[in-house]
Structure 1
Amino acid sequence: MQRDYTALNSPASHTIRARTLAVGLAVAAALALTACGGGAESGSGKSVDSLETGAPTGKNAAPKGGDSGDAAVEAKRPQLRLDTSEEEQSRFTDAYNACLQAHDVPMNTERAAAAGAKQAGPKVSEKDYPKYQAAYDACLVKLPRQPPETSPETNTRYADDYRAYVKCLQGRGMKIHLTPDTSVYPDGLAWTYDDASVSLPEAEQSAADRACTLEAFGGK
C-alpha cells in the first residue's frame, strides 16, 4: 500500500498542493494556516487532503509498508470519517503538527501567529523533505488516515465518486475541472481551477467542499 504522509485540512479553497489525490475535508481551524502551505498559489492548484501538513508525498513519501512495524503504526493512526467534525479534525492536526515540531521540523510560526492559532504547521520546502524524513516517520502514528471512501485502494467506486464530487463543486459555483494526478496512485484524479481567479470566497468553498464530499462519497 502506498504510504501517504498528507493529512487533513486544505479544502478546495486556497493554496492547494497537487501531490495527492485524496478529497479535501474542510477544517476551519486550519484554513488560515494553509493559505500558502506547501503548494501553488491560490487559484492554481488541485484539491487534496484536508489536513495540510507539508508532509512528503509522491517521490518523497516513505516506501510501501508491509512489515509488522508498519502494520502496527497503521493500526494506531486515527481514522477519519466523512462526517468527522471540524473540531475533531483540528485536534488531530494540532497533535500531528506538535509531534513534528517536537522532532525539530521547522514550523510556520508567523502564519500561526497571524491567524491566532496555538499550533503552527510545518514549513518545509519539497527539496528539504528528505532532511526531515525521520521526523515524519516518527510522527506517522499521529497522522490521521483518510476516510476509506476517499481512496481508490479502499473504494471500488472512487473514480465515479470523485467525478461526482467535482461536478457537485462546479454546481456550487466553483470554476474547476477534473485532471489526472499520478503523484500517489497511477490512476489518480484531482481538480484544478479553470483560471487564476478564485470563484468563491474561502468560507463558501470550504462549505461546498464538505457538502460535496458527503454527497459524492457518502451517497448523500
Structure 2
Amino acid sequence: MRNTKPPSPAVRSTALSVCALLAATVLTACGAGDGGGVKAAGDAKGGVSTLETGSPAPGGKPGAPTSTKVDSRRPQLRMDSSEEEINRLDDAYHACLQSHGVPMNTERAKLAGAKQASPVQGEGITKKYKPAFDACLVKMPLEPPELDSKVNPHYTDDYRVYVKCINNAGMRVHMLQDEHGIAIGWTYDDDHGSNGLSDAEQTKIDKKCKTEAFGGKKG
C-alpha cells in the first residue's frame, strides 16, 4: 500500500507500502512516519492504506501533483516487484528528500535497523518543504498500473476483494471511499483491528491479499 492524506487519530491506518499501500516495507517504505497516522500501501501498520498511483498523501509520499512529463521519468513498480527492489527505490527517494533538507525519522529508522530513514510526516512538513518534494518527485516510484483507479476500470471491485481477503486473514478493517464511490484506502475497524498480529504478519497478509486481488504475479 502507498500508501495519503492526514486523517484524524480515529482513522488510524501508509503506505505497505502503501505503502503503499501501495506497496512496501513495514517501517521505511512510503515515508511511513510518526506524525500523520496514515498507513502507506504495503505498510501493514499505521493508519489508512492507500493504493492510488500519483496521489501521494502526507502519510505516504507527499509532494507535488504528478505530471505526465515527470511521471515518464519516475521508476515504475510492478505487482511482482520484490521487497528488495521496492526498498531500494524508496530509499533513493527518501535519500533525495533528506539531501534537500526534509526532516527524517532517524530514531525510528535506527530502531528498525534501517540505513535510510523516511521523512517526518505532517501537513506542515509537506508545505514547508514543498520545493524539496517537487525536486524529488521524479525519484518517487509509481505504483503498478493495477493499483491506479484511473487505469484499472475494476479498481474499486478489486479493492473490495483485497479488503475481504485481509479480513479473512484475521485483521479487522474496512474500505474507505471518496464522494464518487472510488476506493481510497482502508482503515482498522477499531483500536484492536490488528487483532494482535505483528507488523511483519500484517505486512505479509497485506502483500498476499493485494497480489491476489489485483491479479499480479507473486514476487
Class of the TM-score when normalised by the shorter of the 2 chains? 0.7 to 0.9
Contact 1:43–1:195 (CA under 8 A) maintained in structure 2: no
Letter in 2 for 1:82: M
Q: Is 1:62 matched with 2:79?
A: no
Q: Is 1:187 matched with 2:189?
A: no
Root-mean-square deviation (CA), in Å?
A: 3.4
Uncovered stretches (5+) of structure 1, i.e. residues with no partner = 1-5, 9-14, 66-70
Superposed CA deviations along residues 166-192 of structure 1, whole A, max 9, x for unmatched, are: 01111111111222246xx87333211
Letter in 2 for 1:110: E
Work out the CA distance in 1 between the residues paired with 2:97 and 2:199.
27
- Structure of greater Rg: 1
Task: Choose the corresponding residue for 1:136, options 115, 133, 137.
Answer: 133
Q: How does 1:98-117 map to 2 (within 5 A)?
A: 98-117=95-114
Other-structure match for 1:158: 155
Deviation at 1:145, TM superposition (A): 0.2
Deviation at 1:113, TM superposition (A): 1.5
Work out the CA distance in 2 between the residues paired with 1:64 and 1:116.
31
Other-structure match for 1:38: 36
Please list every run of at least 4 consecutive aligned residues from structure 1 whose deviation after the TM superposition is greater than 6 angstroms: 41-44
Work out the CA distance in 1 between the residues paired with 2:143 and 2:28.
16
Deviation at 1:116, TM superposition (A): 1.6
Contact 1:162–1:189 (CA under 8 A) maintained in structure 2: no
Q: Is 1:79 matched with 2:76?
A: yes
Contact 1:44–1:196 (CA under 8 A) maintained in structure 2: no
Contact 2:28–2:117 (CA under 8 A) maintained in structure 1: no
Bigger drift between 20-29 and 132-141 goes to 20-29
With CA pairs under 8 Å and 6+ residues apart, which has the higher RCO, 1 or 2?
1
Work out the CA distance in 2 between the residues paired with 1:35 and 1:131.
17
Work out the CA distance in 1 between the residues paired with 2:177 and 2:130.
27
Q: Report how many aligned residue pairs link the two structures.
A: 196
Work out the CA distance in 1 between the residues paired with 2:151 and 2:110.
38
Of Structure 1 and Structure 2, which has the larger fraction of its residues in helix? 1
Contact 1:177–1:194 (CA under 8 A) maintained in structure 2: yes
When normalised by structure 2's length, the TM-score is 0.75
Other-structure match for 1:168: 165
Q: Secondary structure of the residue that 1:76 maps to in structure 2? A: coil
* Shift in alpha-carbon separation, 1:141–1:7, aligned structure 2, 3 A: farther
Deviation at 1:40, TM superposition (A): 5.2
Uncovered stretches (5+) of structure 2, i.e. residues with no partner = 4-11
Percent identical residues: 47
